[in-house]
Amino acid sequence: MISVEEALKRILVAISPLGLEKVNILDALGRVIGEDVYAGRAIPPKDNSAMDGYALRMGDTRGASADTPAMLEVVEEIPAGAIPEKRIGPGQAARIMTGAPVPEGADAVVRMEDTRKENGQVAILVEAKHGQDIRLAGEDVQPGEKVIFRGEVIRPAEVGMLAAFGRSFVSVHQRPLVAIVATGDELTDIDETPSPWKIVNSNSYSLAALVLDCGAIPLQIGIARDRREDIVAKFRAAIRADLIVSSGGVSVGDYDLVKEVMKEEGNRMQFWRVAMKPGRPLAFGMLGEVPLVGLPGNPVSAMVSFEQFIRPAILKMMGRVNLFRQTVQARLGEDINKKSGIRHFIRARIQRDGDLYTVITTGDQGSGILKSMVRANGLIILPEGVTTVQAGGMVTVQLLDDSLDWTLEPGY
Ligand code: AMP
Ligand code: MG
């Protein structure tokens, strides 16, 4: 048996980030940028007004108040986007809108609320300070400044910054194409009429959804029957992908042929019993240049193993440096007993409770009980050495989504 860390390490060494492609900045959302981005221009490009008001010379407002306003001549009106035509001389002001360039000669803006129109002039009711309500050219970004670093995930803020530079395209790591192969004579496809002896191939869909959730592209290869030739054919069809994921056929049954086929077809095939539950059997090898992970067939085992091994591998391919789900500490709501020596991943619901999190299991933990996965938003991780945790004890929870703060109870 090998540890979860060891299995993960062996998979991740075989995985490299994919190459780069240019995509539209909106398509770049959630992708990892493959270039450093330097500012090609100053933002903002010119000094401009932060307020609707009057651009003026600070010295003209000395001693001004509501009772003793400074009276100025209004020489022009500068809407946002306009170019000022006049220089502001002593005793003069320009009506100015937010975002409009500050005219020459002016060194402050006084907001509308601190002014009054009077006899065709403007009365300034306060003393202005130097530079007041003027946004300086380059105060956000200086030309030549490095603003986005290679390897960062593009979020809405980065999209906005790229747009501000007039960049409509950006270099990002490619999205991995992940082939999904289900194996099993008992499987029937989603649209076929299931007979009582058959099981609908749900794994191909849950795994494809997990692939999509990582930001990668699933490639459905379909169902391989438990025959050597069929598994070989499906694996060969999968080889155009960047990563192949299969489910089923990695246990010790007579028809569990995936690992044998992997041994024959590929090289450096490794088969592990990972010290975890669910998801103990795991096969890993290379099919030519393409990494192949054989997941167990039970629906929950396949998903939990995907979370622990495939998700980090896909994120690494996408150029990400943070490969793991967030974990938090939570107070356990019930007693749990387990065997020593293996790590347990227990389907659970975690919820905020004031400043703390509390967590309860979502019922039967059988590796075929997909319902308890449906109800889970996290996995309690119980370490190898632990055999019992009592209600009230603190446990580590791996978050599967961001539904921690449910305030309304779903209908169960
Ligand atoms: P295996 O690992 O091939 O022995 O599969 C274990 C069990 O997982 C099978 O008996 C099925 O009940 C279930 N199973 C395997 N493959 C799938 C699949 N693609 N979709 C849903 N259930 C599956
Ligand atoms: Mg099987």
Å from CA of 310 to ligand 2 middle: 20
**Do the beta carbons of residue 362 and residue 287 sit within 8 Å?**
no
Mutate to test the pocket of ligand 1, among 186, 200, 250, 252 (most ligand atoms within 8 A of CB): 186
Of 346, 360, 347, the residue nearest 409 (C-alpha): 360
Model's pTM, two decimal places? 0.91
Å from CA of 273 to ligand 1 middle: 18
Instruction: Please give all residues whose CB falls under 5 A of ion ligand 2, grouped by chain where several chains appear.
Output: 184, 248-249, 297
Three-state secondary structure call for residue 230: helix
> What confidence score (pLDDT) does residue 407 get?
57
**pLDDT tens per residue, range 152-164:** 999 999 999 999 9
Å from CA of 381 to ligand 1 middle: 24
**Which residue type, as a one-letter code, is found at position 84?**
P
Mutate to test the pocket of ligand 1, among 180, 187, 234 (most ligand atoms within 8 A of CB): 187
**pLDDT tens per residue, range 27-65:** 999 999 999 999 999 999 999 999 999 999 999 999 999
Mean pLDDT across the chain, nearest whole number? Answer: 95
Chain centroid to Cα 229, Å, comes to 39
Å from CA of 216 to ligand 1 middle: 24
Q: Is the pLDDT of residue 230 over 80?
A: yes
Rounded to whole angstroms, how far apart are CA atoms 409 and 141? 45
Q: What percent of the chain has pLDDT over 70?
A: 97
> What confidence score (pLDDT) does residue 410 get?
61
**Which residue type, as a one-letter code, is found at position 137?**
A
Residue nearest to atom 16 of ligand 1 (CA): 297
**pLDDT tens per residue, range 256-266:** 899 888 888 76
Residue nearest to atom 12 of ligand 1 (CA): 298
Rounded to whole angstroms, how far apart are CA atoms 172 and 178? 18
Q: How confident is the model at residue 406 (pLDDT cuts 50, 70, 90)?
A: low
Residue nearest to atom 17 of ligand 1 (CA): 297
Q: How confident is the model at residue 253 (pLDDT cuts 50, 70, 90)?
A: confident
> What confidence score (pLDDT) does residue 404 get?
80
Q: Is the pLDDT of residue 324 over 90?
A: yes
> What confidence score (pLDDT) does residue 411 get?
64
Structure tokens at 204: 């191909």
